[in-house]
Amino acid sequence: MTSLFRLAASAAFIPLLFSQAAMADGIAGAPAPFDKGGVKLALISYISAGDFFQAYQAGAVAQAKALGIDLRVFPGRQDASEQREQISQAVNLGVQGIVIDHGLPESLTDVVQQALDKGVKVVAFDVNLNNPKIPQVEQSDHALAQQALDQVAKDNGKSFNAAYVYVAGFAPLDRRNEVWEKFKADNKGVVEKAHFGNVSDTTATSTADQAKAALTANPDVSVVFAPYDEFARGVKLAVTDLGLSGKIKIYSADVSTADIQEITEEGSPWVATVATNPAVVGAVSIRAAALEIAGQTVPHQISVEPTLLTQAALRAAGVKTIEDLAAKIPAFNTSDAATASWIPQKLF
């Protein structure tokens, strides 16, 4: 193992990453405590692996830096008890706010209440903590799924056999599932022939194995609705391996540079996705926490609006990376959610 790899491997076991030292000075014209600086915030994730979560974290780190916040990032390993422990650790470290990114509500409610009782502000992204004191950030998941399914209907009509990738218990997937269920109820010609999915450290490869079995058993499937990019990546792997690229179309959520390459490559069955810029969502989560800490008004529901990205449109526009996308679609690069004149906005 080279020293660089050894360093990276050992860093993975360090529970806290310090994004930066707190800025000595505050932001001129900002409300307390941002006028003096030294604000401490924690980002506590349930999942850290995968393009979406890495970009979300990068956006959070960049926005925290712009606000002079000392952000402590607790990596997520899909371990509910570890996430609970991290919340207690953050409170003991004296943070003024915590952003909780995904997780299982039932394992978080009491420990989050303890944080609130100690005066710590909490913001939730994609985990429904069901507390009027906690602003909820999401990507308009109902609209996201609706846009994807409108594209499905446009490309395939309203009578086809489908496979569906879904795991219950994740707030964004549950919201997208409500739209899928309504789509099927409204379109009786849409038949769900197979349903599978997993969320793990190896979501894409495990989904690929499941998709191979499901598509082999159901050769009449022509559409796969896979509303998470790790799901779509796995299904694409299976479809390609089975030689079914000309027969099956995949529709997803989320986007990354790697996804754009997979969507736009010659003969790809992945024909559309609906997505926000995850870095923008990370930044919005941090801004919401900053507003809470400053005692300013924060809406209970904060939404970042997604955009439909079809294979045809991406190819026609010559988009190859997230940066290309941000350059072509300015709305993809920023959000007016949770802003204030004193908060420096990050562009991604």
Binding footprint of ligand SR1 on the chain (CB under 6 A)? 52, 126, 139, 170, 172-173, 199, 228, 253-254
Q: How far is CA 112 from CA 44, 91, 341, in A?
A: 12, 10, 30
Q: Cα–Cα distance between 141 and 143 in angstroms, integer?
A: 5
Compute the least distance from the CB of residue 324 to ligand SR1, in Å.
20
Q: What strands, in cross-sheet order, belong to the sheet with 270-275?
A: 190-196, 160-165, 223-226, 249-253, 270-275, 307-310
CB of 125 to ligand SR1, least distance (A): 8
> Which C-beta is closer to ligand SR1: that of 149 or that of 199?
199
* Closer to ligand SR1 by Cβ: residue 96 or 285: 285
Least distance CB 71 / ligand SR1 (angstroms): 20
| Of residues 263 and 294, the one with the C-beta less far from ligand SR1 | 263
Q: How many CB atoms lie within 10 A of CB 26?
A: 19
Q: Per this entry, what is the length of the chain? A: 348
Based on CB atoms, which residue is closest to ligand SR1, 86 or 256? 256
**Nearer CB in complex with ligand SR1: 52/160:** 52
For ligand SR1, the closer of residues 97 and 103 by Cβ is 103
Q: How far apart are CA 57 and CA 79, in angstroms?
A: 18
Identify whether the C-beta of residue 201 lies closer than 8 Å to the C-beta of residue 49: yes
- Rounded to a whole number of angstroms, the minimum distance from the CB of residue 235 to ligand SR1 is 14
DSSP SS3 for 129: coil
> Min. distance of Cβ 144 from ligand SR1 in angstroms?
8
Who's near 276: CB < 8 A, 6+ residues apart? 139, 304, 305, 306, 307, 332, 335
The single residue listed with the structure tokens 């390609």 is 240
Instruction: Give the pair of three-digit tokens for residue 247.
Output: 């027969």
Q: Which residues contact 75 (CB under 8 A, 6 or more apart)?
A: 12, 15, 17, 45, 48
Least distance between ligand SR1 and beta carbon 83 (Å) = 14
Three-state DSSP class for residue 133:
coil
**What is the closest distance, in whole angstroms, from the C-beta atom of residue 197 to ligand SR1 in the complex?**
9
Which is nearer to ligand SR1, 34 or 180 (by Cβ)?
180
Number of other residues whose CB lies within 10 A of the CB of residue 22: 16
Asked if 36 and 294 count as a contact pair (C-beta separation under 8 A), the reply is no
Question: Taking the complex as a whole, how short is the minimal distance between the CB of residue 165 and ligand SR1, in angstroms?
Answer: 11
Nearer to ligand SR1, 91 or 145 (CB): 145
Strand ranges in 227-348 using DSSP code E only, listed in sequence order:
249-253, 270-275, 301-303, 307-310
